[in-house]
Structure 1
Amino acid sequence: MEKVAIVILNWNGAKMLTRFLPNVLEYSRKDATVYVADNASTDNSVELLKQHFPEVRLVLLDKNWGFAEGYNKALEKIDAEYYVLLNSDVEVSHHWLSPLIEFMDNHKEVAACQPKLLSENDRDSFEYAGACGGYLDRYGYPFCRGRIFDFVETDNGQYDYDVEVLWATGACLMIRSSDFKLSGGFDARFFAHNEEIDLCWRLRLMGRKIFCIPDSFVFHVGGGTLPKNNPMKTYLNFRNNLLMLYKNLPDSELNKVMRARMILDYVAAFKSLLTGCVGDFKAIVKARRDFKKWLPEYVGIRSKVQQMRKTENIVGIYRFSLLWQYYVKGRKKYSDLKTH
């Protein structure tokens, strides 16, 4: 068994691999093996890897399985103590792996962790996709230390301490292979978006812990596959978030949260329509419709998830409404939130 497998999932990302893979190879430890799992790319990704990066191990998948099932299938073929799921558009820093490995080696109760995620385009700012560790409000809206909705903070070292979080970003996620397998991995139906939050939430229900370790930091381009304000991204985010809530919420919270979300989702849909974002309006309505259509299939899945539950009190799920704090109270920084 290898110590660490760095696994980059790729789909038509030859340009990103050319730009960032040399950096990963140069700055990763000798006990880490770099893999690229290719989701049946139609560009020259595979030829590029074979010709210019022969030290990288290739895992060739038969079609584009998306982020969730792509990683599930790739990791089945890799035997390592730790997996590091790394986006192809991430620039790593010197010695980025050591703080993560050392923390995981010394904290066996921790299933997964992430580094501090900074913007590759504005290196003094956090990056949207995970910043410095993630949380949820009571209605399932994700936010991070360093990012709430579209407001991203400048990194002034204000979150430079290890902290337990609800979820770690899938852009750079270190996870014990044993925990990944025990949890069942990613929900393949998600395809992309919210899959890492769902996985981390399930791990938390199982009594495992998730941390952010900012002594390690990387730089993320972001939006490489689907840019922001893309209706497909809107659809996946809304649909998958609803499925995640249905699976993981306790019985005592499920009905009232889902009723509130139905109202909030349609408010968001009509706001999109009124502001001229017709694509987003259609995406949200379709997400609600497909969630309802898929619900019968998720009854059994929810039952299995709830049977794994070892605790009711999950660190990182706050009781407040993030929408209220952000839009009404004007609290746009994590440090400004009233968490009690």
Structure 2
Amino acid sequence: MASSVAIVILNYNGKHYLERFLPNILKYSEGYDIWIADNASTDHSLDWVKVNFPTLKTLSIDENRGYAGGYNEALKHIEADYYILLNSDIEVTPDWIDPVIAFMDSDPNIAACQPKIRAFDLPTHFEYAGAAGGFMDYLGYPFCRGRIFDTRDEDLGQFDDQGDVFWATGACMFLRADAFHKANGFDERFFAHMEEIDLCWRLLNMQYRITYCGKSTVYHVGGGTLHKSNPRKTFLNYRNNLIMLFKNLPKGRRWKTVLIRLMLDGVSSVRFMATGAWPDVLAIVRAHFAFYRMIPTLMKHTPRNTNRAPLYYKSIVWEYFVLGKHRFDQLSGINPKKTSATTPR
């Protein structure tokens, strides 16, 4: 029996993206359930969907609960074997679903998978949010095959493979439904940004696999809700990174790693000062104090997971900014496990 798949688009004031990309999604997703879950939008986007695509399934959430809370609420009401969490600013391509589902069907331990993410504004190159699968160094800095910091590689077929990664992007995330619910979904304290990395880390600690499938390609606009230069995004990224490290690192490494990261955040603040980006400096300070206030709760309620996740035990900051290693193939010590979609482990 074929696996059931639900495509779930979480929308917040994204009418302009729905107008542009929803017809494309419908064209290349025939036969699959498509849900629009609305996070209390004020731009009448859900009304537009109901008028123009009355057969689509919709959910209305009574307040903006961010990516984490919005999807948690929506997925309580949707039954499927697999969820595809899809940003509204994604352009899909023919046959973007089947190769990923076939790969996930090949191994019940695959909890999440992402396709190749190219940039909508530069279609020949990888996009920031996910590229060809995510990794993370031991200090909590995420990076991707095809994108390290501000360097995006051209897609020359070098990542047409499929195999294991550390995290899959939330921009287009295929999830095994029962694994998602066993992990209790996203941590709603994150609101938005890095909640998918936190989920993937927890799933890895639960002995699941996180994977990438280069046989599927989508194009991502990026920055649809918060532009990368928005201080609110800076606040969420810095705060959530600290929360994620504190939650998921083994107890013996937690405090040392967080202390180093706090100092490196200070260095990052100096870089913002040098460019006159004072709102971002203040956002980092607020992020730190928000994290400090959460420590008692994190210590009380966070399970002490054994770290089984394959962190990159070098500093990607040092490798990139000091040693000048701007491409994934220049890094040593990472050998992603590649598998065949037709051969289960």
TM value normalised by structure 2: 0.94
Partner of 1:13: 14
Q: Whole-Å Cα distance in 2 between the matches of residues 198 and 268 of structure 1? A: 22
Partner of 2:205: 205
Partner of 1:244: 244
For residues 243-285 of structure 1, the C-alpha deviation after alignment (integer angstroms, 9 at most, x for no partner) is 0000000123212211111110111112212321101100111
Within 5 A, what are the aligned runs for 1:160-175?
160-175=160-175
CA drift of 1:314 comes to 1.8
Within 5 A, what are the aligned runs for 1:40-189?
40-189=40-189
Q: Whole-Å Cα distance in 1 between the matches of residues 100 and 250 of structure 2? A: 31
CA drift of 1:56 comes to 1.1
CA contact (8 A) 2:204 2:308 kept: no
Q: Whole-Å Cα distance in 2 between the matches of residues 117 and 271 of structure 1? A: 29
Partner of 1:263: 263
Q: Whole-Å Cα distance in 1 between the matches of residues 236 and 333 of structure 2? A: 28
CA drift of 1:160 comes to 1.2
Partner of 2:313: 319
CA drift of 1:111 comes to 0.4
CA drift of 1:106 comes to 1.2
State the Cα RMSD in Å. Answer: 1.3
2:300 maps to a residue whose letter is G
TM value normalised by structure 1: 0.96
1:33 maps to a residue whose letter is D
Q: Whole-Å Cα distance in 2 between the matches of residues 335 and 54 of structure 1? A: 47
Q: Whole-Å Cα distance in 2 between the matches of residues 97 and 55 of structure 1? A: 21
CA drift of 1:301 comes to 3.0
Which runs of structure 1 show a deviation greater than 2 angstroms over 4 or more consecutive aligned residues?
A: none
Q: Whole-Å Cα distance in 1 between the matches of residues 130 and 116 of structure 2? A: 8
Q: Whole-Å Cα distance in 2 between the matches of residues 257 and 45 of structure 1? A: 43
CA drift of 1:2 comes to 7.4
Q: Whole-Å Cα distance in 1 between the matches of residues 262 and 119 of structure 2? A: 33
Question: Gaps spanning 5+ residues in structure 1: where?
Answer: none
For residues 175-231 of structure 1, the C-alpha deviation after alignment (integer angstroms, 9 at most, x for no partner) is 011011000100101110000000000000000000000101100000111111111
SS of the residue 1:284 aligns to: helix
Partner of 1:334: 328
CA drift of 1:29 comes to 4.1
- Matched-pair identity in %: 48
CA contact (8 A) 1:29 1:97 kept: no
Question: Gaps spanning 5+ residues in structure 2: where?
Answer: 335-345
252-261 or 128-137, which deviates more:
252-261
SS of the residue 1:80 aligns to: coil
Partner of 1:229: 229
